[in-house]
Amino acid sequence: TGRLGMAATALGVLTAVLEEACTFANERELYGKPISTLGVIQGYIAEIYADLEAARLLNYRVAWMKDQGLRLDPEAALAKSFTCEAAARSAKKAVEIHGSYGIMREYAVQRLLRDAMVTISAGGTAEIAQVVMARAALNKFKK
């Protein structure tokens, strides 16, 4: 589905975001030490990593369901919604890790943030995904 494709695209963006954030944090020094030693930077990296792993598992599950020929509308909506939002959230954190460098063209995070933002509305808006997920949840517990 379009949702699954967009979720996979956002997963790629999210993977690149983590790589860029970690590389910069390990290389950029402040007071003679890499900024990766700072607690706030480690917190951002941990949040990006958690979002990436959760999104990866969700996407793999939906891809497996598709391979099995199962109905996957609510799961695809969830994967798309979560992964795209996680990519945007994480890209914003990566820009913060980069500081003023985060908006410079020489650093990929500025492009990754734009790429992540585009995935949110492409392939169906978040609001439509919410309706699909809500209907599935409500039907699951209907008496």
Mean pLDDT of 58-85: 94
CA–CA dist 86, 112 (Å, integer): 12
The tens digit of pLDDT for each residue in 77-125 reads 999 999 999 999 999 999 999 999 999 999 999 999 999 999 988 867 7
Q: Does position 68 have pLDDT exceeding 60, yes or no? A: yes
Q: Which CATH superfamily is domain 2-140 in?
A: Butyryl-CoA Dehydrogenase, subunit A, domain 3 (1.20.140.10)
pLDDT of residue 45: 99
Return the sign of the alpha-carbon dihedral for residues 125, 126, 128, 129: positive
Nearest in space to 35 (alpha carbons), one of 115, 76, 96: 96
Q: Please state the rounded mean pLDDT for residues 125-142.
A: 86
Widest CA span in the chain: 64
Average pLDDT score over residue span 37-65: 98
Mean pLDDT of the chain: 93
pLDDT at 1 over 70: no
pLDDT attached to residue 125: 74
29: helix, strand or coil: strand
- The reported pLDDT for the residue numbered 131 is 86
